[in-house]
Every structure is written in C-alpha cells, then in structure tokens.
Amino acid sequence: MKISDFLRAADVSADVAASDKQKLLSDLAHKASSSVDIPPDRILSELSKREDLGSTGVGGGVALPHARFHQIDKPFGILLRLKKPIDFDAVDGKPVDTVCLLLLPETQAGDQLGALACIARKLRDPATIAAVRAARNSSQIYDALASG
C-alpha cells in the first residue's frame, strides 16, 4: 500500500492550530465527515472509543488516531502538522505535532493494517518526519510522505 492510496494532497494541512486532543479529534471528525459521508459526531464517538483503549499517540511527536466504519470501502486519511505541539497522552509522554487520522473499512483487515503500517513506517523514518517538520507548506509535506 502507498500513501496515495489513502491520503490525498488536498487532505494535508500545515501549521494547524489545536488547543487540545479532544478539540483536535472533533475538528478532524468534522473535516473527514464530508469526504466519507459519515456524521461528524459518529466519527468523533468512534475515535474517542479507540482513544479510551489506549492513546494513539505513538511517540516521537506523532499520533495516528483511527476508527473503523462499515460505510467506507477503502482507507481515508487526513494529515495535519500542528502549529504548536499538544499533549496527546502519547506512549512516550511527549507532545504531538504531527497527526494522521485514518478512517478504515470495518471488514478489510489487510487494507486497515496496510494503511496503518504504511503511515506509521513513514512517520517513524527520521528523514521523512524531519522533512514533514521542515516543509514550508502542505504540498511539501505531502511530497515528503508520498515519495519513495
């Protein structure tokens, strides 16, 4: 699976203001809603349920909030680089500045794991995350992720 299979350049934003984790998840749910035709409150509810199981803040300043929905047939992503890092209850205790929302099909385990593994691998790569953080705009962020 490639980044372009679930993340479009139009769904990448740089220097997004976020005050806290819950507000950020709400904003992501609203932004995703129109693309996947699922009500934002339903998306937020599922994201919150997933966070209750354990933070999706995977460390290194990165969070990968995700949820499954039977209404979608392929993974959908939104990536934000935050203006200022926020507390995300990450596993390493460090604040998060790069967030990739993934909405995944309920039934296709391969695609789910493929999308999650793909973005996690990319954002764990020191050169890629450095390029994401150094990018001047959302287009450069997307290029850093989609290359390779």
In the chain, the percentage of residues whose pLDDT exceeds 90 is 86
d(CA 23, CA 26): 5
d(CA 50, CA 89): 13
pLDDT tens string 73-117: 899 999 999 999 999 999 999 999 999 999 999 875 555 468 889
Indicate the pTM of the whole model.
Answer: 0.94
Query: Considering 3, 16, 57, 66, which one is annotated as catalytic?
Result: 66
Domain ranges of the chain: 3-146
pLDDT tens string 8-61: 999 999 999 999 999 999 999 999 999 999 999 999 999 999 999 999 999 999
- Per the document, the length of the chain is 148
Quick one: 3-146 is in which CATH superfamily? Mannitol-specific EII; Chain A (3.40.930.10)
Q: Note if 70 is an active site residue.
A: no
Q: What is the dihedral of CA 8, 138, 91, 41, to 10 degrees?
A: -60
Q: What kind and span of H or E run contains 28?
A: helix 21-36
